[in-house]
Amino acid sequence: MAESEPPAGIGFFEKWLSVWVALCIIAGLVLGNVAPGAFETIAGWEYASVNFAVAILIWAMVYPMMVNVDFASIRHIGDRPKGLIITLVVNWLIKPFTMAALGVLFFEVLFVDLISPKDAREYIGGLILLGAAPCTAMVFVWSQMTRGDATYTLVQVSVNDVIMIFAFAPIVALLLGVTDIAVPWETLLISVGLYVVIPLIAGYVTRQQLMHHASRKEGRDEAVVRFVGGIKPFSVIGLLATVVLLFGFQGNVIIEKPLLIALIAAPLIIQSYGIFAIAYGAAWAWRVPFKVAAPCALIGTSNFFELAVAVAISVFGLHSGAALATVVGVLVEVPVMLSLVAFANRTQHHFPKE
């Protein structure tokens, strides 16, 4: 297998990401109410449903993780197929559909008296976008924390990224259509091109240049790790700045409805634990080694929230409930994933070592 490694260890910002996101939510709410004119000006910086400020921040988030993608590793997908099969089945045949079903259950049945039909449709749309976008970055952190096979995790991410180019838009369009939400095909395809294809190509070109110019002393893989480590802070800054913007746009709505975040979080939490149970249980039943089983379950549970946020803004708008739902996904994901990492580490003795 290719010997590329994702950046080692869990960084300070990643470890406390939920705290930073919560602080940025508060900052966004305050600024949105104190200086609403500034946010309206930023909202006007758009063309063809693409907000330039948000686009730049999303690219800052996505680009570093795309440099980590090693397409050469894809040739090894058949070496140990069980973990990859579980990942692909969960990510593309189960997770998007259970997320859509939970969205409909909560917002059209359980919360029907609490939320207007228009808002409910937008929240469901945001949940669908999260469910159809499997994780490509933070899964390296979760894999590291469970001492997973880093190279195999890289294979899983690389394969998922390739599939995402072709499958994300059709799956989202199908589920939006089933839930009676108008399907903006053009915007969906533009979003995939802007936030998946272009960053993936840029990451590939950068990776090739780094490996080509790497010194013999440093080595190719070390050059990639050093470069990604150097630009990684921009990814976190991009995420946090996006959260400030989105909650600044949503400030009045959230202050008027303090329970809204909890309502949106409920199906997301149930989805996360349910999907992990399916993937982790399948890996246990199929006798998959722990260092493959843990990452394959965690990659199915985690979300590519950067893509979901970007597409929600493009499809539904900056002030939409869909955009809000995707940002709540960021807030929920980190503490949930840390609890699942702890559970996996406590139960690893139930899995084969190799």
Render 82-143 in DSSP notation, one character per residue: HHHHHHHHIIIIIHHHHHHHHHHHIIIIITTTTS-HHHHHHHHHHHHHHHTSB-SSHHHHHH
The arithmetic mean of pLDDT across residues 275-298, rounded, is 93
| Max avg pLDDT among 8-22, 179-193, 270-284 | 270-284
Question: How far is the first Cα of the chain from the last one, in angstroms, to the nearest whole number?
Answer: 16
The arithmetic mean of pLDDT across residues 106-135, rounded, is 91
For domain 12-350, the question of CATH label 1.20.1530.20 is answered with yes
* Domain extent listing, the chain: 12-350
pTM of the model: 0.76
pLDDT band at 253 (very low <50, low <70, confident <90, very high): low
pLDDT value of position 192: 75
pLDDT value of position 3: 38
The arithmetic mean of pLDDT across residues 44-69, rounded, is 76
Is the pLDDT at 136 greater than 80? The verdict is no
Is the pLDDT at 238 greater than 60? The verdict is yes
